[in-house]
């Protein structure tokens, strides 16, 4: 009887590190735990997904890796750091850190595909074809934070973010589904938020409530990115000077003090973005939009959405805010 081929967990992690991933963990490709599936269904039933109807689709695949990729044996979860090397000037308009650089979907998928090929290369030539894989990054019905926690990367905090010990939550998550088993799997991380409620207290709209999952209908990230309607009157004053996304819940987290700037060149803000003044933003043309956000995830909101958001924050700007200052290191 031929011995089953097994992947080396140590090799997978070493290769993931070589491609720039901050953390990598492995899980068996088993069905999602019933309690987690029930929590997700309850969240949907309460309408907390707002009008993101795609989150209701393909629940069979969302809760069963085998339904998404028949034959999958191992789920590799990875985290890619995006903590900014430079931030926008304090007197400028702001946007979420994750949107500073190139679109993370493209960067992550490229790295995951390279990782898959590297793992094939570690196998004997005659066995390489036995390893099939699929790469995912926020583009398929995958419970990414669930698998990241199952794979030992961190725990899901009260702000709904995956928090990595001694690193914080400024990470993109991705998954590599593999058709071979590994010789070792990781242990899930326990939650470590304790009695801390700083993220809940920092949320400007009450989207976070103690003991409850995030309510997208009140979340500024949803309202400024996924939402295709007007910004609600009650939400606009709470946006402050941030016109795209909202980092306040993760910036309030005490674990963020351990974060270190990313070494990923693709996530560094370009000079066109850094040089934008409030006056530039409010005069933004579609050509400017394409130039400043070329290859950026901001295209999710489209030009019309960005202009809508800018108009919503305009009354929130302090006096003399059109003066430029040096960017912060």
Task: Please give the positions annotated as active site.
Answer: 138
| Residue 76, φ and ψ in degrees, nearest 5 | -100, 120
Q: Is 173 helix (H, G, I), strand (E, B) or coil?
A: strand
Q: Is 310 helix (H, G, I), strand (E, B) or coil?
A: helix
Report the side by side order of strands in the sheet with 171-178: 23-28, 74-81, 171-178, 133-136
Q: How far apart are CA 278 and CA 317, in angstroms?
A: 9
Q: How far apart are CA 319 and CA 329, in angstroms?
A: 25
DSSP 236-278: GGGGTTEEE---HHHHS-GGGGG------GGGSPPHHHHT--H
CB 178 within 8 A of CB 133: yes
* Nearest residue to 146 via CA among 72, 45, 53, 35: 35
């Amino acid at each position: 009887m031929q011995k089953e081929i097994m992947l080396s967990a140590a090799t997978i992690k070493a290769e993931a590190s070589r491609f720039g991933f901050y953390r990598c963990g492995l899980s068996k490709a088993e069905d999602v735990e019933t309690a987690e599936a029930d929590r997700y269904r309850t969240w949907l039933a309460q309408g907390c997904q707002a009008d993101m109807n795609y989150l209701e689709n393909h629940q069979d695949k969302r809760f069963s890796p085998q339904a998404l990729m028949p034959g999958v044996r191992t789920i590799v979860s990875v985290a890619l750091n995006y903590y900014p090397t430079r931030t926008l000037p304090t007197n400028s308009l702001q946007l979420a850190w994750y949107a500073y650089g190139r679109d993370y979907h493209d960067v992550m998928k490229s790295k995951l595909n390279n990782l898959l090929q590297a793992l094939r290369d570690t196998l004997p030539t005659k066995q390489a074809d036995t390893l099939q894989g699929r790469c995912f990054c926020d583009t398929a019905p995958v419970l990414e934070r669930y698998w990241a926690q199952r794979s030992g990367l961190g725990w899901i905090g009260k702000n709904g973010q995956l928090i990595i010990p001694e690193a914080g939550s400024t990470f993109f998550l991705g998954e590599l589904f593999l058709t071979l088993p590994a010789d070792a799997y990781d242990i899930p991380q326990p939650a470590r938020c304790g009695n801390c409620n700083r993220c809940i207290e920092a949320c400007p709209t009450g989207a976070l409530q103690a003991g409850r999952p995030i309510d997208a209908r009140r979340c500024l990230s949803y309202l400024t990115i996924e939402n295709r309607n007007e910004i609600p009157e009650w939400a606009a004053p709470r946006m402050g000077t941030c016109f795209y996304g909202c980092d306040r819940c993760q910036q309030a987290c005490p674990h963020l003090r351990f974060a270190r700037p990313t070494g990923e060149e693709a996530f560094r803000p370009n000079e066109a973005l850094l040089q934008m003044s409030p006056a530039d933003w409010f005069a933004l043309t579609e050509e400017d939009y394409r130039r400043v956000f070329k290859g950026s995830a901001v295209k999710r909101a489209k030009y019309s959405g960005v202009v809508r958001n800018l108009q919503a924050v305009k009354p929130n700007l302090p006096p003399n805010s059109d003066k430029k200052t040096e960017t912060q290191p």
